[in-house]
A and B are shown apart, each in its own frame.
Chain A
């Protein structure tokens, strides 16, 4: 690395700090930028800056947005009684792509993880409980990741939301979660015990 011009070394170093980018990929990206036209490089730099300068968190659902409240929270067509709780903004994007969900969201910005020391105060959990108190929410859909930390977070939220229920009366609060089941395109024989058990528990009535 000692023979590289300092600006080149600096860019490699910055790229390699990005998640999922190793030193080899950082070098490839740097030399790609070096070879590309100047205005393309400028657009990349400006896009990065714009993200940092203009993107904020929605004060209601904590999704990333340019305007507060975000377009989903402002949309009058959305079902305001339904709130889906996800770990990351990317999860909102994934659910929106399905076009099947018409409610609002709440982004936690992570999952509880004792091993990494991520506790309830590090996530937007207090804010979720406040929303449940003050908004006319009738159903919370827990859509944390189907892994150990995601389930741990969901378990925690269920117990906190249950405590709230008496406070909310006479309003009813339903707590649901995304169904757990077999991935489309997968083979049954490779499914793990946890997926299979939940698939059987959540089996569908085909109405035949």
Chain B
């Protein structure tokens, strides 16, 4: 397809693996080539001109030369480095998680411009959220110890990533009989791909609360900018997370590595946070 010896692309860095003395194999998410692996030479030396632009989650403009196996980065210019995100353990972990999800769900060299733009939007939102968040030392006084907005952002990303790769979760109609779901206690089944009406829930699945279904539906049908800044209870956030993680686990047939890190940070936080208020505004 490609005739020329080199090409230029924007890219988000998803993963880096050390290669040889000072090189790295870098996994990129690009708008037109999808997920690709490329070689970045000498990037582990402090004097490398490429290194800072090929850090994890950086959004950069790259020049690539066609290589025998993998293409080679010849120039890199940073567009966005998301530096605020890198000041916070929690937001860095969220960033790792987005990268891991994309890496797991995307085949190499299949165009997924929707995923690229979704990832970019989420990174910008995470970075902005990190910039607004108080420094970790004053977390006890923080008015959002649960990181509600960034947790919703992870759920938003999961829902829309699944849709982009053809596994749109069913939150509007019953995943089994297609009856429209109503605001009543429903059920949920990962293997059927979403929520179930009360009648079908008798045979499968776990309960799905009215509030959880409502949040999932809003996340699914909204632009990110239009998602309300709810204050949700810890238990509701956890219920929504379990639903999405069960769906992801069903499709991937395994857990994601970053989950245990998100869990670790949450446990540390919950240990010293006071009794949590119950759901508000919902």
Cβ distance B151 to chain A, nearest Cβ, rounded Å: 16
- What is the number of residues of chain B that contact chain A, defined by CB distance less than 8 Å? 37
Chain B residue nearest in CB terms to A152: B92
**Please, which residues of chain B bring their CB within 8 A of the CB of A162?**
136-137
Task: Tell me, in angstroms, the Cα distance from A148 to B123 when the chains sit together.
Answer: 15
A155 touches B88 (CB 8 A): yes
Binding-face segment, A27-35, A112-120, A126-134: A112-120
Contacts of B81 in A (CB 8 A): 192-194
Q: A119 near B92 (CB under 8 angstroms)?
A: no
Asked whether A114 lies within 8 Å of B257 as measured between CB atoms, the reply is: yes
| Contact B136–A20 (Cβ < 8 Å) | no
Binds B, one of A36-44, A74-82, A135-143, A183-191: A183-191
Of B19, B86, B257, the contact of A116 (CB 8 Å cutoff): B257
Question: What's the Cα separation between A130 and B46 when bound, in Å?
Answer: 32
Inter-chain CA distance A185–B97, complex, in Å, is 36
Chain A binding surface, main DSSP class: helix
Q: How far is B93's CA from A193's CA once the two chains are assembled, in angstroms?
A: 21
Distance of A183 Cα from B42 Cα, bound (Å)? 14
B55 interface contact, C-beta 8 A: yes
Most buried by A among B15, B49, B58, B99: B49
Pair A190/B49 contact, Cβ less than 8 Å: yes
Contact B52 A155 (CB under 8 A): no
Residues in A whose Cβ lies below 8 Å from that of B227:
none
Q: Give the distance to chain B from A200, nearest Cβ to Cβ, in Å.
A: 12
Contact partners of A192 in chain B: CB under 8 A: 51-53, 55, 58, 78, 81
Instruction: Give A158 Cβ to nearest chain B Cβ, in Å.
Output: 8
Residues of A within 8 Å of B83, CB to CB, are 193-194, 197
A112 to B261, CA, bound (A): 10
A147 adjacent to chain B (CB < 8 Å) = yes
Can you offer 26 A-B residue contacts whose CB atoms are under 8 A? A19-B18, A20-B19, A22-B20, A112-B261, A114-B96, A114-B97, A114-B100, A115-B99, A115-B103, A117-B257, A117-B260, A119-B261, A147-B51, A148-B57, A151-B86, A152-B89, A155-B88, A156-B89, A158-B136, A159-B136, A192-B78, A193-B81, A194-B55, A194-B81, A194-B86, A195-B52
